Structure 1
Amino acid sequence: MARTGITLQHEPVLHRTLEKLGRTAVCFSGGTDSEVLLRAAADTLGTGNIAAVMALTPFLAERHRVCAENTAASLGITLHKVQVNLLSCNDILNNTFRRCYFCKSMIYRSVKLKAAEIGFHFTADGTNLDDSEKERPGLEAAGEQSVLHPLLNAGMTKRRVRNLGKILGMKDSERPEDSCMATRFPKNKPIEEKMLVLIEKIEQSTAAARGRIRAVPEKGTVTLKFETVDLSVINAVSKELFRLCDTYCTKLILNNVDSCKKGNLL
């Protein structure tokens, strides 16, 4: 990706923030915010001064890994990967409110080690202004690991981040927000590796429906919640999903949030 001056023109504060950092490793998850940061950093500093580092964890959906690989390749940026075994930490498996702190601590520590190994002393992530207005233990972990937040420092809201992404050439800057697979488990309900695998298979099978889709496990069931989606995709794969859940001795429940809002059933 060649320098274009787009970031300077549309988000001058972000441009100056990145210029001051110089060579920077971006903690790249394949999500919208980290992709916009990666594009803006490449536009400001040039691809030779940017590294993308991805933490491969059990909570990272395969589709996001593939998206990250394709994005980095299209920008001419090497994607460095580091394995992080989050399931080895009981504080994460117990899934309390502090889960995100322990999870991010392990991820940031591993990403920073990889960044230093390849010659990058600054590490930044895609945290934006809207994120800072919520109580997020992961931000505490970022502070302890000296992970920087250029989008936040530039005062950029999620809307501004998406707008910049579109200008910088993102093909899908308006894609629905997605979070790590651990968020599908209700708080204080232990995270099970078997259910992580099932949840990802379900969500991958329905990804073409777009919209907001979540597979939520609890007490021998998985509820597939979907909103503003292409229902034809859900209908086309529903029988396959019921069979899949049967192999996991789990009952599948379909929950059309749009219909529920209107007082109707699916």
Structure 2
Amino acid sequence: MTSTTLAPDLQAKLDHLRAIIRACGSALVAYSGGIDSTLVLAVAHEQLGDKALACIGVSPSYPRRELEEAIAIAREIGAAYRLVETNEHLNPNYAANPVNRCYFCKSTLHSHLVAIAREEGWNAILDGANASDVGDFRPGMQAAREKGVRSPLLEANITKPEVRAIARALGLRIWDKPAMACLSSRVPHGTPITPDLLRQIEAAEDTLVALGFRQFRVRHHGEIARIELASDELLRAIEQREAIVAGVRAAGYRFVTLDLAGYQRGSMNAIHVARDDIRTRKPIS
């Protein structure tokens, strides 16, 4: 893999990333098919060859379309991959959907990867956290640190825009792929997470995918589906409202609404809960 059209400072960061991953000797990559973990996987495959393995966590919160694309991208890179059934919804702490739900999700995934690494002799576990994630509320990063998972993008001080620039230079076709959080992020905190609920949300979002929308969320509010779209796609949604309504209702919603504020990352977070309180919240016994 060779890079092109990178500024010297960004090339230096890519070289640093390569050195960090090469020094691991062998690594499991917590891989979702998003651009961050895809870049880590691509560089890991470049530097480690068959000593790099993509591990894809499979659960009801991970859309089938995302799984299929992740597999396709791993094959394009030439990297080996493995599907890892996580079943985090069976954990009552996760299923209760507290504000720090992501902690329990990532803890479950990383526990599986730690077990694989120990049993098979992998030296490191890598994830796709980057420098832009620092300071944001990301309880999953806490879980990763507790399990000894490394974040080479963060270690190389590579930000999200830089991830995209490097990925584009390396020829990764998803360099501009919109962020795609798990399906549980569409549900208000405190509303229990169940596989049936996640399948309902996935079916509703599949309607938007089929109609060509790229940046979207279907936020779940009981019988109401609140659709968030990128601002430049709102008018097109009005034009295609009949198809959207039909598809979302077929998924099980009675009312279909379009949020005029547009797509907002993390809009379901209960921001009134203090972060210190979140971090000290005890698991359900």
> What TM-score do the two structures reach when normalised by structure 2?
0.81
* Aligned equivalents of 1:129, 1:242: Cα separation in 2: 36
CA distance in 2, matches of 1:75, 1:209: 25
- Aligned counterparts of 2:67 and 2:155: Cα–Cα separation in 1: 27
Aligned to 2:244: 238
Partners in 1 of 2:176 and 2:243 — Cα distance? 25
Q: In 2, distance between residues paired with 1:36 and 1:236?
A: 38
> In structure 2, what is the equivalent of residue 168 of structure 1?
170
1:85 lines up with 2:99 in the alignment? no
Matching residue of 2:255: 251
Which residue number in structure 1 is paired with residue 53 of structure 2? 51
The aligned residue for residue 262 of structure 1 is none
Query: CA distance change for structure 1 residues 119 and 250 in 2, over 3 Å: closer, same or farther?
Result: farther
Residue 243 of structure 1 and its aligned partner are, at CA, apart by 3.8
Work out which of the residue numbers 190, 193, 216 in structure 2 matches 1:191: 193
Letter aligned with residue 237 of structure 1: A
**For each residue in 1:212-266, what CA deviation from the matched residue of structure 2 results, as whole angstroms up to 9, or x when unmatched?**
2111111321112212338268446324325404xx363222334459xxxxxxx
1:236–1:73 Cα change, 3 Å: farther
Whichever residue aligns with residue 14 of structure 1, its letter is L
Unaligned runs of 5+ in 1: 260-266
- Please state if 1:12 is matched with 2:10: no
- Displacement of 1:28 in angstroms is 0.5
Q: Which residue does 2:282 correspond to in 1?
A: none
Q: Does 1:221 align with 2:227?
A: no
Match status 1:23 vs 2:26: yes
Partner of 2:158: 156
2:255 aligned partner, one-letter code: K
| Letter in structure 1 aligned against 2:158 | M
CA drift of 1:198 comes to 1.1
Do the aligned residues in 2 keep the contact of 1:40 with 1:168 (CA within 8 Å)? no
Query: Hey, what's the Cα distance between the residues in 2 that align with 1:249 and 1:76?
Result: 41
* Residue correspondences, number: 254
Kept in 2: contact 1:53–1:115 (CA 8 A): no
Are positions 1:40 and 2:46 aligned together?
Answer: no
Alpha carbons of structure 1 residues 180 and 132: separation in structure 2 relative to 1, 3 Å: same
Deviations 1:17-70 (A, max 9, x none): 112112111110111100011112222x14222111111011111111011110
What runs of 5+ residues in structure 2 fail to find an aligned partner?
5-9, 264-285
Aligned twin of 1:134: 136
Structure 1 residues 129 and 240: CA distance shift in structure 2, 3 A? same
Aligned partners of 2:80 and 2:240: how far apart in 1?
36
CA RMSD of aligned residues (A): 2.3
Distance (whole Å) between structure 1 residues aligned to residue 140 and residue 253 of structure 2? 34
1:182 is the counterpart of 2:188: no
Q: Name the amino acid aligned to 2:250.
A: L
State the secondary structure of the residue aligned to 1:194. Answer: helix
- Give the direction of change, closer, same or farther, for the CA distance of 1:209–1:229 in structure 2 (3 Å limit): farther
The alignment partner of 1:206 has SS state of helix
Q: SS in structure 1 opposite 2:243? A: helix
- Alpha-carbon distance change, 116 to 169 in structure 1, aligned in 2, over 3 angstroms: farther
Indicate how the Cα distance of structure 1 residues 21 and 189 shifts in structure 2: closer, same or farther if over 3 A, else same.
same
Cα offset, 1:133, TM superposition: 1.9
1:176–1:211: 8 Å Cα contact kept in structure 2?
Answer: yes
Q: Using a 3 Å threshold, how does the CA distance of structure 1 residues 5 and 119 change in structure 2: closer, same or farther?
A: farther
- Deviation, 1:14, is 0.9
Is the CA contact 2:249–2:256 (under 8 Å) kept in the aligned structure 1? Answer: no
Task: Give how far 1:89 is off.
Answer: 1.0
Q: For residues 8 and 117 of structure 1, do their structure 2 counterparts lie closer, same or farther at Cα, with a shift above 3 Å needed?
A: farther
- Stretch deviating more after TM superposition (117-126 or 28-37): 117-126
> What TM-score results when the alignment is normalised by the length of structure 1?
0.87
